[in-house]
Amino acid sequence: MSSSNVLEVSGGICAYCGACVSICSTSAIYLEDDKIAIRGEKCTRCGLCVKVCPAINIEIYEPPVIESYTARSTIQKVLEVCQDGGVVTALLMEALKRGLVDIVIVCGESETERLKPRPFLANSPEDVLIAAGSKYSLSPILNLLEEAISRSDKVAIVGLPCHLRALELMRKAQLVEYTRAIRLKIGLFCMNNYPYANLIKIIAEVAKAPLSEVNKVEIRKGKFIVWLRTGVARSAAITEFKEYVNVACKTCPDFTAWFSDISVGSAGSEEGWSTVLIRSETGRNLFNMAVKEGVITAKSLSEKALNQVRRLAGVKLKRALGSINQIKLS
């Protein structure tokens, strides 16, 4: 592009979050073959896509954590499908049940491609259950933002640090038409993410079996684990797959989803439980409500466990600073 307000994505530095697609009023930016594409002739050079891009607008600022817990859902049907403690699913079900939100932007699995994320709008607890479980590939969930806010003024979103940073950038750019309907932001801990094609390569290398024989995938304690339908688990250190990590992830400093109301992840908690960081009064009110209703059981997070989270956050921050400096020097 000739204009300084429009940047071609180069070097793969794209979080594939979908924010630019959602805010582009002329549809100059669109999704194509798991990538962001641009119709140059439709671009008005407004520059909004640059302002909301989480991959090129990186600020090192972590809002304070109000409270921290280790928690798990008490709902059996949630525990049957969740990745860790089922906290995110239980919270969303409670928020929908109480009318705090009407629509949730979530990520399920594609009906046609195994283990490929599929963003969709959930408006019932049953829909939320469909989206349970971690996804380990890039997902442009913010592509659905415009549709969500056109249908309701009470929208929740579950996203990675990049998704929530994009929303924060929209807020800073005073794009209130996109942000005012967002009532709840739940963020997921994230160290790395992978383009779908790369994820399939990793699974093939770890599983040593056809994709049709794979039951589920998880990343836990530094290992990439593939469970086969036979019940056999095969694993490898995630450090073996550094070249498959999305480039934008390497410059992202945020492990715990700084710009969320509630941050959730497995780091710091025992298997079957989730670490929960409360970051706002909105988050605290919903979490306390869920505990009071008995849909979640929770214990204060120990200092030792919190230090585990801090250590991983520090690793990601250090990597990001090194990657950013390398890009500036190149």
Q: Domain of 114: which CATH number?
A: 3.40.640
Say if CB 199 and CB 208 are below 8 A apart: no
193: number of Cβ within 10 Å? 23
For the chain, percent of residues with pLDDT exceeding 70: 95
User: Which tokens in the block code for residue 5?
Assistant: 């307000």
**Spatial distance between the Cα atoms of 320 and 60, rounded to a whole number of angstroms:** 10
Residues 80 and 161 in one domain: yes
**Spatial distance between the Cα atoms of 254 and 61, rounded to a whole number of angstroms:** 9
State the pLDDT at residue 8: 55
Where among 211, 244, 277 does a domain terminate? 244
Q: N- to C-terminal Cα distance for the chain?
A: 21
Q: How confident is the model at residue 69 (pLDDT cuts 50, 70, 90)?
A: very high
Q: Which domain holds residue 204?
A: 196-244
Residues 105 and 215 in one domain: no
Packing angle, helices 281-292 and 87-97, rounded to 10: 90
Query: Is residue 184 domain-resident?
Result: yes
Q: Which residues on neighbouring strands pair with residue 294, listed in sequence order?
A: none
**Burial class of residue 291, CB neighbours in 10 A (0-12, 13-18, 19+):** middle
Q: Which residue do the tokens 């801990």 mark?
A: 189
Residues 101 and 206 in one domain: no
Residues 101 and 80 in one domain: yes
CA distances from 54 to 20, 167, 197, 251, 306 (A): 10, 9, 22, 10, 26
**Spatial distance between the Cα atoms of 185 and 260, rounded to a whole number of angstroms:** 5
Residues 172 and 75 in one domain: yes
Instruction: Report how many domains make up the chain.
Output: 2
Per-residue model confidence as pLDDT tens digits over 149-190: 999 999 999 999 999 999 999 999 999 999 999 999 999 999
Q: How confident is the model at residue 2 (pLDDT cuts 50, 70, 90)?
A: very low
Say if CB 67 and CB 74 are below 8 A apart: no
Residues 106 and 202 in one domain: no
Per-residue model confidence as pLDDT tens digits over 100-155: 999 999 999 999 999 999 999 999 999 999 999 889 999 999 999 999 999 999 99
Query: Is residue 301 domain-resident?
Result: yes
State the pLDDT at residue 318: 95
Q: How confident is the model at residue 324 (pLDDT cuts 50, 70, 90)?
A: confident
Query: Is residue 319 domain-resident?
Result: yes
State the pLDDT at residue 328: 57
Residues 94 and 220 in one domain: no
Residues 136 and 177 in one domain: yes
